[in-house]
């Protein structure tokens, strides 16, 4: 099977929509890229935030950037009604959705723009890549110091 066809099949498997309806409500933040709304736990599509126990550096000091990313998402969504849609099932079997504050502010894009999450390279969402470039240029969030990309941290590259 040609590589392009194989890639298309794999991508289709990753982005298979589920039968579950859209979800909305006041979220509970699980970590920097995971929400729980009414018992439905899912990741935010297209972003990868530092792991809960991940550390980073800034001004020569180590800090818990995973905890910080979780706090930023928590403050962003505190008491807010969130609408989530376009559910996909990832290769690990977990679900992911795109969520909005006030029906128009993409939470994932805001997390990236503030520098507390990175754009998922597998999806290459143009707005997310642009938000990451802007955050990096302004040394926002993680970009103000040193850090391992969350996907590298999970693989033990710290």
Instruction: Show me where the domains of the chain are located.
Output: 17-152
CA dihedral over 124, 130, 136, 139, signed as positive or negative: negative
Q: Which residue from 133, 116, 132 is spatially nearest to 56, judged by alpha carbons?
A: 116
pLDDT in the model for residue 2: 52
The label of the residue with tokens 């969030």 reads 141
Rounded Cα distance between 27 and 96, Å, is 14
Q: What mean pLDDT value characterizes the chain?
A: 87
- The mean pLDDT value for 91-115 works out to 92
Quick: pLDDT tens for 63-90.
Answer: 999 999 999 999 999 999 999 998 888 7
pLDDT in the model for residue 87: 87
What is the percentage of the chain residues whose pLDDT exceeds 70?
86
Report residue 116's pLDDT band, with 50, 70 and 90 as the boundaries: very high
Please state which CATH class domain 17-152 belongs to. mainly beta
pLDDT in the model for residue 20: 54
pLDDT in the model for residue 104: 87
pLDDT in the model for residue 90: 73
Q: Give Cβ neighbours of residue 145 (< 8 Å, ≥ 6 apart).
A: 56, 57, 58, 59
Q: Which residue from 82, 76, 86 is spatially nearest to 112, judged by alpha carbons?
A: 76
Quick: pLDDT tens for 128-141.
Answer: 999 999 999 999 99
Half-sphere exposure of 22 (CA within 13 A, CB side): 11
Report residue 145's pLDDT band, with 50, 70 and 90 as the boundaries: very high
128-154 burial by CB neighbour count: b if 16+ within 10 A, else e? bbebbeebeeeebbbbebebbebeebe
pLDDT in the model for residue 102: 86
pTM, full prediction: 0.84
Contact 128, 120 (CB under 8 A): yes
């Amino acid at each position: 099977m040609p590589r392009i066809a194989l890639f298309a099949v794999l991508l289709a498997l990753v982005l298979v929509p589920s039968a579950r309806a859209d979800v909305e409500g006041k979220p509970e933040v699980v970590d920097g890229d995971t929400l729980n709304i009414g018992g439905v736990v899912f990741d935010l599509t297209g972003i990868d935030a530092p792991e809960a126990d991940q550390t980073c550096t800034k001004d020569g000091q180590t800090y818990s950037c995973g905890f910080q990313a979780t706090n930023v998402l928590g403050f962003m969504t505190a008491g807010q009604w969130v609408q989530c849609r376009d559910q996909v099932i990832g290769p690990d079997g977990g679900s992911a959705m795109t969520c909005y504050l006030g029906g128009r502010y993409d939470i994932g894009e805001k997390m990236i723009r503030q520098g507390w999450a990175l754009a998922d390279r597998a999806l290459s969402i143009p707005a997310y890549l642009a938000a990451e470039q802007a955050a990096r240029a302004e040394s926002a969030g993680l970009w103000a110091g040193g850090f391992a990309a969350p996907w590298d941290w999970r693989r033990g590259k710290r």
